[in-house]
A and B are shown apart, each in its own frame.
Chain A
């Protein structure tokens, strides 16, 4: 009990003071930073992407994103390694799903895949992108897992897709290096901002990321589903 009290007091001190300082230095609703100013005013011209967040994520900080994808990949590998079993994991769901869930999942599964694909294909135009789209796709597979106790993904196919999309991302970066002199250079024309085919390589990268993230998250879920508790 005394432990909880102490921790609450310490927390109160730390958090309050930190946020007091924060609201002094960065008041809510204040103007953008210097570097963002450039992104906002030049972003569309420089990258051709209507969605400025995408412009930042894939163009200005594209290398960062490659690292991020790598982190996710390493995490998926780590999950696989931590939950490794000698024989292929067999799912052991105790409860069958109800008829509503089963029928609903059959109806919704293609829609969810389509929605996920829509999100990452339009990553440079509308809110969302590869990571979000990938997450939606993975959710579709979660649905599948819930509704069917014997369902299991095609591991080989997923691994191939994931590797291929990762290689597309890295390959585009190296193409930029070869053609223009630096990694992840936008080697395709920018086009008209706001159209589907615009913003150079950004849509391609986001599609690759979407497939990769979807495959990886699904792989993580598959691993965890196969665990005997």
Chain B
């Protein structure tokens, strides 16, 4: 249950960062935090009380392991998260070069 609370807290903190912070890098950090929260949530949904990692080896029978599916999904999600963060950061670098600011409300070219 702890894990649920932790992931809820992570997601809430991440969204709060997105809502309140104006600094582009902090917003990307917020995205990353949400990402971590969601990953944690997925893993903990897949957990089954008293079971172990899903690797079948002598001493571990199939009836004894947790759900591997969320873990596989999280593996995907981590990679996607990395991609998103890298791309977003490079765009921010560009934005900074062009506008000399990281404040999102000062980047006005796409607004009216």
Contacts and interface: CB of A to CB of B under 8 A. Distances in A.
Contacts of B65: 40, 52
Given A51-B54, A68-B80, A82-B91, A15 B68 contact: no
Contacts of B1: 23, 28
A15 B11 contact: yes
A52 B86 contact: no
Interface string A138-174: 0000000000000000000000000000000000000
A22 B93 contact: no
B82 A217 contact: yes
The B contact surface, by secondary structure, is helix
Given A75-B86, A194-B57, A39 B19 contact: no
A227 B97 CA distance: 10
A42 to B, nearest CB: 9
B93 A224 contact: yes
A4 B55 contact: no
A45 to B, nearest CB: 10
Nearest to A82: B90
A136 B50 CA distance: 30
Contacts of B78: 131
Given A64-B76, A72-B79, A79-B87, A28 B44 contact: yes
Interface residues on B, range: 35 or more
A78 B84 CA distance: 10
Contact of B75 (A50, A129, A193): A129
Contacts of B69: 32-33, 35-36, 39, 56
Interface in A19-69: 19, 22-23, 26, 28-33, 35-36, 39-41, 43-44, 50-53, 55-57, 61, 64-65, 68
Interface centre among B58, B80, B84 (most CB of A within 10 A): B80
A192 to B, nearest CB: 12
Contacts of B75: 53, 57, 129, 131
Contacts of B89: 224
A227 B72 contact: no
A83 B48 contact: no
Nearest to A80: B90
